[in-house]
Amino acid sequence: MGMRLVSLALLIAAWYVGSQLAGARLLPDPQAVALAIVDEARSGALAFNLGATLARVAVAFVIAMALGSLIGLIMGRSRIADRLGDPWLIVLLNLPALVIIVLAYVWAGLTETAAIAAVALNKLPIATVTVREGARSLDHALDDMAQVFRMGAWTRLRHVVLPQLAPYLAAAARSGLSLVWKIVLIVELLGRPNGVGFEIGVAFQLFDVTRILAYALAFIAVMLAIETFLVQPLERHVARWRPRPA
Amino acid sequence: MSPAGARGRLDVNIKQKSFRAASGGKLHVLGELVFSLRSGELAALVGPSGCEKTTLLRIVAGLDRDFDGHVAIPAHGTLAMVFQEPRLLPWRTVEQNVRLAAPRASDAGLEMLFQTLGLEAHRDHYPGELSLGLARRVALARAFAVKPDLLLLDEPFVSLDDALAARLREELAELVNRRPVTTLLVTHNVEEAIGLADRLLLLSISPARIVADVPVARPRAAHTPAELAALRGEIARRLNQPFSRENL
């Protein structure tokens, strides 16, 4: 914890020195950015834009994780599904995010649905590939055990399969969250009238670096809070059965 | 003592079982195997290592359907198995492991099982926190908690030290005496087989066939040491003999 604070202090110091060298127009100092954050917060714009972006992140993330995990599980368990789905997966994985976004807006208009679908579609193949890896490494011995004891489908999924997939789901969620929010900003920049991405787009046109940094930092803080208060406790809960070094 | 009738009866009628070898040929692992267990009977399958006893047990359990022949398990078909390794869910506690396999088990029933097997103090422990001996006890508790019509035991005490294995054998005998269940025990330990079973089925090396069907009279306490020694000698002689028709 102490080291983390030192590291953070060094970052802010470097930023301050940089701003003195580059000038306030190119790189405003930390105090100016902090004041801008306070200003945006007072007017209510910060909460509104953060909320809009977070909602998009949440919906796209949930859709991509749910669908991606389901498809990954099926592909990992069935060889036919794997052969059928694999080419699609390769196409999706290699389609640039920007192409998916632009096509979604062209086909479905500049709508919320198009925005969220585009983000989810960007994240989906990565979740699928990760969970498929997990499904391939499921323990057959435990499968046999569940079959002998005639465990129901739901019991098997919840108590036999999902705990084995937990590390893979966690990895997919981790990488997914950071990817999704970056793509959401692009989607907002290109075709939404609000959100952090939209604000940054406006600030870019006005060459307002202070505002760009203010929104970026505010959003990083929110994601850090989600990581600390949501993702990490969840991971600890899922890993509670692992023997810890005393 | 064992209830008569066909309710818990097991009929095994295997013509043969082969695996496809990696080289492309066929590996003939089980020969003709025909035997039946009366309801409540405990039979031990004894044979040399590598005679595919586990394969036979997997077929009886319905885990392997790729064989020629037919297996009829008891009518209700409630099955329980103790595998060579405990095969517990590491992410569930001892009690959850048992309850997940036996959702209909009563609290009182579980209480008694945990007590018999000395597991009361470990109910809330995770399998990773248990010794192998304790984990095997949990596997036994899970198997008995479902009140099976057919119990399959695959070398349940292998790789335990002798004293611990003996104690677990006693606990198993107590559980079986309390509630007789048709049981197929796979072991390569002749002592264990004589100690637990009503009947020994001696298997040949692969492709496995039944070399001899040796009844063990009950109660076992009535056996004199001389009788036991004779039985042991007989079994050792039969097991070491190459398979031939006369032995049937």
pLDDT per residue over B147-171, tens digit each?
898 999 998 888 788 888 888 888 8
Q: Which residues of B touch A243 (CB under 8 A)?
A: 126, 128-129
In chain A, domain spans = 30-238
Each residue's pLDDT, cut to its tens digit, for chain A (246 residues) gives: 788 889 989 999 999 999 999 988 899 999 999 999 999 999 999 999 999 999 999 999 999 999 999 999 999 999 999 999 999 999 999 999 999 999 999 999 999 999 999 999 999 999 999 999 999 999 999 999 999 999 999 999 999 999 999 989 988 988 888 899 899 999 999 999 999 999 999 999 999 999 999 999 999 899 888 888 888 888 888 888 887 665
DSSP B149: S
Does residue A138 sit in helix, strand or coil?
A: coil
Q: How many domains does chain B have?
A: 1
Whether B87 and A241 lie within 8 Å, measured CB to CB: no
Tell whether B131 is covered by a domain. Answer: no
The CA–CA distances, whole Å, from B43 to B38, B113, B121, B178 equal 10, 23, 33, 17
CB contact under 8 A, A147 and B85: no
Please check whether residue B5 lies inside any domain of the structure.
no
CATH number at residue B223: 3.40.50.300
Residue B17 falls inside a structural domain: yes
Within-domain flag for B111: no
A148 vs B: CB within 8 A:
yes
- Under an 8 A CB cutoff, do A149 and B62 touch? no
Burial category of B137 from C-beta neighbours within 10 Å (exposed 0-12, middle 13-18, buried 19 and up): buried
Q: Which residues from chain A sit within 8 angstroms of residue B128, using beta carbons? A: 241-243
> Which residue from B minimizes the CA distance to A162?
B91
Q: How far does B136 lie from chain A, in Å, by closest CA?
A: 14
| Beta-carbon separation of B89 and A144 below 8 A | no
The pLDDT tens digits of the residues spanning B182-206 come to 999 998 888 888 888 889 998 888 7
CA pair distance A103, A54, nearest whole angstrom = 23
Supply the angle between the helices A196-205 and A45-77 in degrees, to the nearest 10. 120
Which chain B residues contact residue A166 at CB under 8 A?
91
pLDDT at res. B247:
40
- Strands B26-30, B10-20: pairing is antiparallel
Binned at pLDDT 50, 70 and 90, residue B5 comes out as very low
The residue range of the domain holding B216 is 10-78+148-243
More confident residue, B101 or B247: B101
pTM recorded for the entire structure: 0.79
CATH number assigned to the domain with residue range A30-238, chosen from the 4 options 3.40.605.10, 1.10.274.10, 3.40.50.720, 1.10.3720.10? 1.10.3720.10
Nearest chain A residue to B78, by CA: A149
Is B64 touching A (CB cutoff 8 A)?
A: no
At a CB cut-off of 8 Å and minimum separation 6, what does A42 contact? none
Q: How far is CA B182 from the centre of its chain?
A: 10
B129, closest residue in chain A (CA to CA): A243
User: pLDDT band at B222, cuts 50/70/90?
Assistant: low
Which band of pLDDT confidence, cut at 50, 70 and 90, is reported for residue B218? low
| Banded pLDDT at B245 (limits 50, 70, 90) | very low
Q: Give me the pLDDT at residue B191, please.
A: 81
Instruction: Quote the ipTM score.
Output: 0.84
Cβ contacts of B87 on chain A, cutoff 8 Å: 141-142, 144-145
Is B83 touching A (CB cutoff 8 A)?
A: yes
A158 lies within 8 A of chain B by CB: no
B220 falls in which pLDDT band (50, 70, 90)? low
Q: How many CB atoms lie within 10 A of CB B116?
A: 17
